């Protein structure tokens, strides 16, 4: 019989597997490739400045990436391939924000 701790650990790993499934595609050779965020859709008719729209979009993506990275690091600390791709996606979002601020 499983203890509550064991059940929680099993459920946590199931959640991590689901997160990987939602954020990665599996190639023919079994390699997991990250799904990148789509580009920021800009509304040029909006009262909000373009740079602000970009910053808000990628700020939301940074928060999402950090949450995903935290769960994956806890459940699969040995899976460097997936962790490195998540870090890369996070850094990409940060770069987009820096670029938007630079041209603001």
To the nearest 5 percent, what fractions of the chain are helix, strand and coil? 65, 5, 30
The mean pLDDT of 21-25, rounded to a whole number, is 91
User: Do the Cβ atoms of 71 and 16 come closer than 8 Å?
Assistant: yes
Q: Report the percentage of the chain scoring pLDDT > 70.
A: 98
What Rg do the C-alpha atoms of the chain give, in angstroms? 17
The per-residue pLDDT for range 42-78, each reduced to its tens digit, is 999 999 999 999 999 999 999 999 999 999 999 999 9
Comparing 38 with 58, the larger pLDDT belongs to 58
Please tell me the predicted confidence (pLDDT) of residue 88: 96
**Domain residue spans in the chain?**
4-102
Q: Which residues, including other chains, have CB under 8 Å from residue 27's CB and lie 6 or more apart?
A: 33
Please tell me the predicted confidence (pLDDT) of residue 1: 60
């Amino acid at each position: 019989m499983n203890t509550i701790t064991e059940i929680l650990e099993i459920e946590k790993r199931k959640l991590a597997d689901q997160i990987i499934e939602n954020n990665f595609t599996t190639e023919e050779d079994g390699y997991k490739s990250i799904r990148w965020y789509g580009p920021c859709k800009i509304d040029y008719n909006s009262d909000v400045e373009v740079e602000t729209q970009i910053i808000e979009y990628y700020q939301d993506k940074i928060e999402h990436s950090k949450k995903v990275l935290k769960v994956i690091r806890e459940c699969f600390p040995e899976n460097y391939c997936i962790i490195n791709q998540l870090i890369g996606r996070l850094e990409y979002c940060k770069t987009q924000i820096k670029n938007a601020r630079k041209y603001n």
